[in-house]
Amino acid sequence: MNPLPPLPALRAFEAVSRLGSVVKAADALSVTHSAISHQIHALEDYLGLPLFERSGRKLALTEDGRNYALQIRMALNDMAEATRTVRARPKPNEIKLTTMPSFGLGWLIPRIPEFQALFPQYRIDIRASLGFDDLHTGQLDLAIRMGAGDWEGLKTQHLLDDYLVVVAAPDYPHLPRTLADLEQAQIIGTLEKWSSWVKAAQLGDWSPTFGLFCNDNNLALTAVRLGQGIALARLSLVLDELVDGRLQLVGNVIAPHPNRYWLVWAPRVDGSAKLHHFMQWITQRAAQSQQQMQVYIDGVYSAE
C-alpha cells in the first residue's frame, strides 16, 4: 500500500479545514464543490476514519481531523518552500550575484552595461546584501565582499586593494587644513574605521567625533555631496568624482584600506561558463581601477 494519499485529496482537506467550508475551498482551488466533497470522502476512506463531523451542510473537524490538518498544512508548506527554493536557483543563462550596497552603486552598476554588451546571453540579477547564506543554499552564484578572503566553504578571487580618503563637497566652506580645524569639523561617520587614515596623517591617538552617523556609505556620501560635512570614504567609490571635481580631497592623505575586495562563490559554480565569463571581465575591470587609483595617488603626492 502506498503510504501517501493522493496530493489532490490532501490539498482539498487542508483547504476545507482551513476555510471551514467546502464552497470556500472549491473557490480557493478553482474546482467544483462536488470535486472537493469527493476528495474528502476518498481521503477518509483511505485513512479509515472520519475527519469531519457532519451536521447538515455544516462541517467540524474531529480530533483526528484537527491533528491531521495541522501536520498536513506544515507538510504542504514545506513542499511549497522546497519548490520555491528550487525554482529560485540560478539558471545557466542567469548570473545572480550579491554585492555590498556601496560597491554596487559606486563601482559595479556604472560598469555592468559593458559586461552585458560583451555577454548578452546572460540575465543579470544583482542583490544588495552583506551575508553568504544565499551562496551556501544555491540561491545566488557570486558575491563581491570585503575582507581577508578566507571564508570557510567558499572560493575567492582577489579583485581590488582599496584606500581611505577624506572627502568634501567642492564648495564646502569649512575645509579642515590643520588638526584643530579637523577637531572642529562636521564629520559624517560611517562604518569605515579611521585608524589607518589617522596613522597615515600622523595624528597620534586622535579620533573623530561624529555630528551625523550613517550605517551605509551611500547615505554618508550623499550627505557629503549636499555640503553637510566631510566623511571617510573608499577611494574606489569616489575616484571619478575626485578626478572631475565633484568632490575634493581633504588633507592630501591617502591610507591603505585594511581589507580587500574579493569575488566569492560556492564550489558548485566551479567550471561553469558564467563564472568564467564574469570573472574574466571583472578582474580586468578591477585591474584597470587599481591602475587608475594608483595614478591618482601618485598625482596627489607628486603635487605636494
Domain boundaries, the chain: 7-88, 94-161+260-293, 166-256
For the segment 92-106, the average pLDDT, to the nearest whole number, is: 90
Model confidence pLDDT, tens digit, residues 163-215: 999 999 999 988 888 777 888 889 999 999 999 999 999 998 999 999 999 99
Contacts of 38 (CB under 8 A, 6+ apart): none
- In the predicted structure, residue 90 carries a pLDDT above the cut 70: no
Residue 81 has a pLDDT of 75
CATH number of the domain located at residue range(s) 94-161+260-293 in this protein = 3.40.190.10
CATH number of the domain located at residue range(s) 166-256 in this protein = 3.40.190.10
Residue 234 has a pLDDT of 97
For the segment 37-58, the average pLDDT, to the nearest whole number, is: 86
CATH of 7-88 given 3.40.50.20, 1.10.3720.10, 3.40.640.10, 1.10.10.10? 1.10.10.10
83: pLDDT confidence band, cut at 50, 70 and 90? low
- In the predicted structure, residue 219 carries a pLDDT above the cut 90: yes
- In the predicted structure, residue 1 carries a pLDDT above the cut 60: no
State the chain's mean pLDDT as an integer. 90
- In the predicted structure, residue 157 carries a pLDDT above the cut 60: yes
Q: Please check whether residue 135 is in contact with residue 166, taking contact to mean a CB–CB distance below 8 angstroms.
A: no
57: pLDDT confidence band, cut at 50, 70 and 90? confident
260 grid coordinates: 580587500
Residue type, 169: A
Residue 238 has a pLDDT of 96
For the segment 71-93, the average pLDDT, to the nearest whole number, is: 76
- In the predicted structure, residue 232 carries a pLDDT above the cut 90: yes
Helix axes 235-243, 273-302, angle to 10 degrees: 60
Residue type, 98: T
Global pTM? 0.73
Residue 131 has a pLDDT of 79
Q: Please check whether residue 164 is in contact with residue 196, taking contact to mean a CB–CB distance below 8 angstroms.
A: yes
Residue 85 has a pLDDT of 66
Q: Please check whether residue 10 is in contact with residue 76, taking contact to mean a CB–CB distance below 8 angstroms.
A: yes
Pair type for strands 187-189 and 230-234: parallel
For the segment 245-270, the average pLDDT, to the nearest whole number, is: 93
Q: Please check whether residue 262 is in contact with residue 156, taking contact to mean a CB–CB distance below 8 angstroms.
A: yes
119: pLDDT confidence band, cut at 50, 70 and 90? very high
Q: Same CATH fold, 166-256 and 94-161+260-293?
A: yes
Residue 213 has a pLDDT of 96
Q: Please check whether residue 234 is in contact with residue 192, taking contact to mean a CB–CB distance below 8 angstroms.
A: yes
Model confidence pLDDT, tens digit, residues 275-291: 999 999 999 999 999 99
Q: How far apart are CA 98 and CA 274, in angstroms?
A: 15
Q: How far apart are CA 2 and CA 122, in angstroms?
A: 44
139: pLDDT confidence band, cut at 50, 70 and 90? confident
261: pLDDT confidence band, cut at 50, 70 and 90? very high
- In the predicted structure, residue 89 carries a pLDDT above the cut 70: no
